[in-house]
Amino acid sequence: MIDIKNDKYIYNVILSRNPVNSINKDMLQGLKYAIDSLNYDMSRVLVISSSMKHFCAGADLKDRSDMSLDETVDFLDEINILYNKISDIEIPTVALIDGACLGGGLEMALACDFIISSNNGIFGFPETSIGIIPGAGGTQRMTRKVGPSTSMKWIFTAERYSAKDSFEDGVVDLLTASHEEDTQAFIDKILFNSPMGLRMSKKSIKQSFIDTGYKKEREAYLKTLYSQDRNEGLRSFKEKRPPNWKNK
């Protein structure tokens, strides 16, 4: 489900659950183990990628639909703890994208310092189409990266964006035809520099943010979670029909 490879100071965390790497509890535990196993003496850059066709299409909605509301809240909190851990990693981090990077998958990528995508990358936040919001840091990290207007465009429309459009909107940092060559060239530029200098630079940059927004995001997510629209969103998704929103 999660493979780990350490090669020439690069710590590779490779998603391999199913074709879309949908996030369930087992995958979450595998990711947590991979992040907790990071050794800063051995690794100077962390890369999260996928061995499957897609990077990550977000939460496993079939698994989620069987959870109680309390279980859903607990699961969301576990995801937030994990993504905050990724965000707090001291060394530079890269999300390497092929295929779908949607919902919780995009939130995972945004927790990394850089998003590098092949030309076939597909990005988006589908949450509002099922009556919720990107509640694992998505509203906050997206806004910090691309600003309020673009963030609202992506979240309000729930559309999917090509790698090219995502690059033009500033979500993707590097668009590449060859992951192997272009990504390695980018990482090599980082590895050339002082490990201590990189870690202290990242720490300083991260301290420029105030994290009160994450609390507000959680409050907003919980409001949607206990709404009729959230239940309708999940039902319409399973039944493959347009939702009938109640606005309550």
Distance CA 242, CA 244 (A): 7
Indicate if 127 belongs to the active site.
yes
Distance CA 146, CA 142 (A): 6
Q: Label residues 87-117 b or e (16+ Cβ within 10 Å = b).
A: bebbbbbbbbbbbbbbbbbbbbbbbbbbbbb
Distance CA 2, CA 63 (A): 19
Indicate if 59 belongs to the active site.
yes
What letter does residue 182 receive in the DSSP assignment?
Answer: I
Residue tagged 């979670």 (tokens): 225
Question: Nearest-CA neighbor of 106 among 121, 125, 89?
Answer: 125
Instruction: Find the catalytic residue in 104, 124, 131, 233.
Output: 104
Residue tagged 């990005």 (tokens): 123
Phi/psi-derived region of residue 159, left when phi > 0, alpha when psi is between -120 and 50, beta in every other case: beta
Distance CA 122, CA 165 (A): 9
Contact 163, 173 (CB under 8 A): no
Instruction: Find the catalytic residue in 127, 135, 136, 163.
Output: 127
Contact 94, 179 (CB under 8 A): no
Instruction: Find the catalytic residue in 34, 57, 59, 100.
Output: 59
Cα atoms in the 13 Å half-sphere on the side-chain side of 86: 30
Instruction: Find the catalytic residue in 107, 124, 136, 137.
Output: 107
| Catalytic site positions | 59, 104, 107, 127
